[in-house]
Structure 1
Amino acid sequence: MAEERCRNCVYFQPHIFFPYIGYCDANEKPAHEHGTCEKFKKVSLDELLSALNRKGGVYCITCGVTIVDRSELENHSREHRVVAGIVFDEAIAAEARSAD
């Protein structure tokens, strides 16, 4: 059984480049993958299918790809870490060093 940690919760949206930090939709605040709370809800295929239908896509953290159809989701969810959403950091480009 998966631990009741943020990383295994349907409400946790990991950062696209730093997946150990993210945002909790249930608590509406930043979260760490090892965090815990009373609102924990295990990620399930049904929850991911609901997010896929609602948002038009879910994200595979393992592969770094957006999943847009049910069969692709079923294949990835067997052995990969798939999440309902991810956090994009629009300021990350400003922090990157330029190459001259």
Structure 2
Amino acid sequence: LDMMANAAFYYGVLRTLSEEDRPLWTKMSFAAAEANFMAAARANRAAHPCRPGLGEVTPDELILRQLLPMADEGLRRWEVAADVRDRYLGVIE
């Protein structure tokens, strides 16, 4: 179940990101992305990455407020049934 939930989350987010009008990498500088990466590598869940449009957020906020809705939208675009989306993404939540 966990592996399916992770796959649903990953591919849902990937679908949504791949179809955005403006790719994520154009919304932040390389230096900002590198700083987020290094902070996460050092502090793990204690890191507060900076996200375009959200500012500084905790990992939990990032997942719950931005990434889970993106995953749900991506799976919806693939016509995955709502009950299936809810089951797998509910594991991540």
Higher relative contact order (CA 8 A, sep 6+): 2
TM normalised by structure 2 equals: 0.28
Q: Which structure shows the bigger proportion of residues in strand conformation? A: 1
TM normalised by structure 1 equals: 0.27
